[in-house]
């Protein structure tokens, strides 16, 4: 079978590796891909958000399956467009992708169907948003409504900070994503990412994982796309899981059906385990990054089979089996990320890291001359490693990550700090 993957980060590299574990995958194409994916797939330079370009590529390549991995093309309706052309595509359609693309859609859905989440108000003008902040007091959370690359959220510890966030969103800091603002009660507790496969009829949950969003050790500094992840998450017990299935995952899939926007693909539930039970912080309509780099290495079943089954609404027939061990990923970023950073530096030590047992997933890399691999993005590599338990997986991931070098390399040294 020929598979086309849309996207080009560490997540897509992990998806490509997992798909190739099924020997039915005879040809892999990735658009745009990156320097690491190029070793597994033929990369074609079409941007993930170039919907016309992606449709044209799929019509030309005639893949048996297109996997649309990032949120933007999903929200822009790439799966709808491919399906109209008779091409089998994995991922939610645009209507279902609203669960991530519009925080106000997600909040109203949870409110209407009684799914536990933070109390909130939704505002289309600065004046009423400011009045709400003053009425509720701090701490309080201010979120731009639309997709803002994970940067549209301010957890404000003072009223002044919250008011500034309101003004900056309505002042255009996040473009159209900030013309509507969601203001939420601040929740406390450990965060867990639960990714679920669903075809709208049944749900198969993945193993839990935990991201580390801040750039520096001790959860200091600005939010990033994610600096590392671990799986499993010890505080996410069987008991909590059963509760999440009944109170969150099943009701969410049922709610999407009831709203006429059946969700088929990966539903990512960002949870906070509060004193009053698990609550939804956010939904994403796709695999997480870097969560995928710790979750998919633990998948023993065929990812291809699961994806095909979802497109045919027969997920209930497929066994989804996970290993009993652990996996950790450490993200190596460019110096300065998530602010300004330079690119084009040669990366050394990737083979040594792989020899040391690391699974090196490329995020922001490109092929240089004579086989060299160069940095080309903020998050450069996600270095994962597996083991029987979390402590050993952590040691293995750091041992592998330390073999790799490039100018300005920055990483957190405390991945796993919340899992102890
Ligand atoms: P989001 O983009 O919605 O995932 O938010 C980014 C981060 O902000 C989350 O991972 C949380 O750490 C934090 N956050 C979001 N909403 C809340 C909330 N209601 N209470 C506390 N922290 C939150
Ligand atoms: N790691 C967070 C996300 O993928 O949205």
The per-residue pLDDT for range 63-89, each reduced to its tens digit, is: 999 999 999 999 999 999 999 999 999
Confidence of residue 178 (pLDDT cuts 50, 70, 90): low
Give pLDDT, residue 103. Answer: 85
What is the mean predicted confidence (pLDDT) over 329-355? 97
Give pLDDT, residue 384. Answer: 98
Confidence of residue 419 (pLDDT cuts 50, 70, 90): confident
Give pLDDT, residue 274. Answer: 97
Q: Is the pLDDT of residue 402 over 90?
A: yes
- Residue 280 Cα distances to 74, 98, 318, angstroms: 21, 16, 27
The residue with tokens 């507790």 is 189
Q: Is the pLDDT of residue 197 over 80?
A: yes
Q: Which of 366, 405, 368 has its CA nearest to residue 383?
A: 405
Cβ(27)–Cβ(3) below 8 Å:
yes
Ligand 2 atom with the smallest distance to the CA of 211 is 1
Pocket of ligand 2, candidates 75, 149, 268: which has the most ligand atoms within 8 Å of its Cβ, to mutate? 268
Confidence of residue 173 (pLDDT cuts 50, 70, 90): confident
Give pLDDT, residue 144. Answer: 84
Give pLDDT, residue 111. Answer: 96
Q: Is the pLDDT of residue 149 over 60?
A: no
Q: Is the pLDDT of residue 101 over 70?
A: yes
Give pLDDT, residue 147. Answer: 67
Q: Report which bound ligand comes closest to the CA of 153.
A: 1
Give pLDDT, residue 104. Answer: 86
Q: Is the pLDDT of residue 150 over 60?
A: no
Q: Is the pLDDT of residue 411 over 70?
A: yes
Rounded to the nearest whole angstrom, what is the distance from the C-alpha of residue 97 to the centroid of ligand 2? 15
Q: Report which bound ligand comes closest to the CA of 187.
A: 1
Confidence of residue 148 (pLDDT cuts 50, 70, 90): low
Q: How do residues 384-400 score in pLDDT, each as one tens digit?
A: 999 999 999 999 999 99
What is the mean predicted confidence (pLDDT) over 313-342? 97
Q: Is the pLDDT of residue 199 over 70?
A: yes
Indicate the burial class of 16 (C-beta count within 10 angstroms; 0-12, 13-18, 19 or more).
buried
Pocket of ligand 2, candidates 75, 148, 150, 294: which has the most ligand atoms within 8 Å of its Cβ, to mutate? 150
Rounded to the nearest whole angstrom, what is the distance from the C-alpha of residue 292 to the centroid of ligand 2? 9
Q: How far apart are CA 330 and CA 319, in angstroms?
A: 30
Going by their DSSP bridges, the two strands 65-68 and 2-7 should be labelled as parallel
What is the mean predicted confidence (pLDDT) over 40-57? 98
Q: What are phi and psi of 411, to 5 degrees?
A: -150, 160
Give pLDDT, residue 318. Answer: 98
| Least trusted range by pLDDT, from 63-72, 107-116, 164-173 | 164-173
Binding site membership of 153 for ligand 1 (Cβ less than 6 Å): yes
pTM for the whole structure: 0.95
Cβ(143)–Cβ(168) below 8 Å:
no
Residue 64 has, within 13 A of its CA and on its CB side, a CA count of 14
Give pLDDT, residue 151. Answer: 61
Ligand 1 atom with the smallest distance to the CA of 270 is 4
Rounded to the nearest whole angstrom, what is the distance from the C-alpha of residue 213 to the centroid of ligand 1? 10
Q: What are phi and psi of 223, to 5 degrees?
A: -70, 150
Mean pLDDT, all residues of the chain = 95
- The SS3 of residue 66 is strand
Binding site membership of 390 for ligand 1 (Cβ less than 6 Å): no
Q: Is the pLDDT of residue 171 over 90?
A: no
Q: Is the pLDDT of residue 194 over 60?
A: yes
């Amino acid at each position: 079978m020929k598979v086309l993957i849309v996207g080009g980060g560490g997540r897509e590299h992990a998806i490509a590796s997992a798909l190739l574990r099924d020997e039915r995958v005879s040809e892999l194409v990735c658009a745009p891909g990156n320097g690491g994916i190029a070793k597994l797939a033929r990369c074609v330079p079409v941007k993930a958000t170039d919907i016309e370009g992606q449709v044209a590529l799929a019509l030309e390549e005639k893949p048996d399956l297109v996997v649309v991995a990032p949120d933007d093309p999903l929200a822009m309706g790439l799966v709808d467009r491919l399906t109209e052309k008779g091409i089998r595509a994995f991922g939610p359609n645009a209507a279902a992708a609203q669960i991530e693309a519009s925080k106000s859609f997600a909040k109203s859905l949870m409110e209407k169907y009684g799914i536990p989440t933070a109390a909130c108000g939704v505002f289309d003008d600065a004046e009423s948003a400011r009045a709400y902040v003053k009425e509720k007091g701090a701490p309080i959370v201010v979120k731009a409504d639309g997709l803002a690359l994970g940067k549209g959220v301010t957890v404000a510890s003072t009223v002044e900070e919250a008011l500034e966030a309101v003004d900056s969103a309505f002042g255009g800091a996040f473009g159209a994503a900030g013309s509507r603002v969601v203001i939420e009660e601040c929740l406390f507790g450990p965060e867990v990412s639960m990714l679920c496969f669903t075809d709208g009829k049944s749900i198969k949950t993945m193993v839990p994982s935990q991201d580390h969003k801040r750039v520096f050790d001790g959860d200091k500094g600005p939010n990033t796309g994610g600096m590392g992840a671990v799986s499993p998450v010890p505080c996410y017990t069987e008991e909590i899981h059963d509760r999440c299935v009944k109170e969150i995952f099943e009701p969410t899939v049922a709610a999407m059906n009831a709203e006429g926007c059946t969700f088929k693909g990966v539903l990512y539930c960002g949870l906070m385990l509060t004193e009053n039970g698990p609550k939804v912080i956010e939904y994403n309509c796709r695999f997480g990054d870097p969560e995928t780099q710790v979750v998919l290495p633990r998948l023993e079943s065929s990812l291809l089979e699961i994806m095909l089954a979802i497109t045919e609404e027969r997920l209930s027939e497929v066994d989804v089996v996970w290993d009993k061990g652990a996996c950790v990923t450490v993200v190596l970023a460019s110096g300065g990320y998530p602010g300004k950073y330079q690119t084009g530096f040669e990366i050394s030590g990737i083979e040594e890291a792989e020899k040391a047992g690391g699974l090196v997933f490329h995020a922001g890399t490109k092929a240089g001359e004579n086989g060299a691999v160069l940095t080309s993005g903020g998050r450069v590599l996600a270095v994962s490693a597996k083991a029987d338990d979390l402590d050993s997986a952590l040691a293995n991931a750091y041992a592998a990550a330390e073999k790799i070098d490039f100018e300005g390399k920055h990483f957190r040294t405390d991945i796993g700090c919340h899992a102890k």
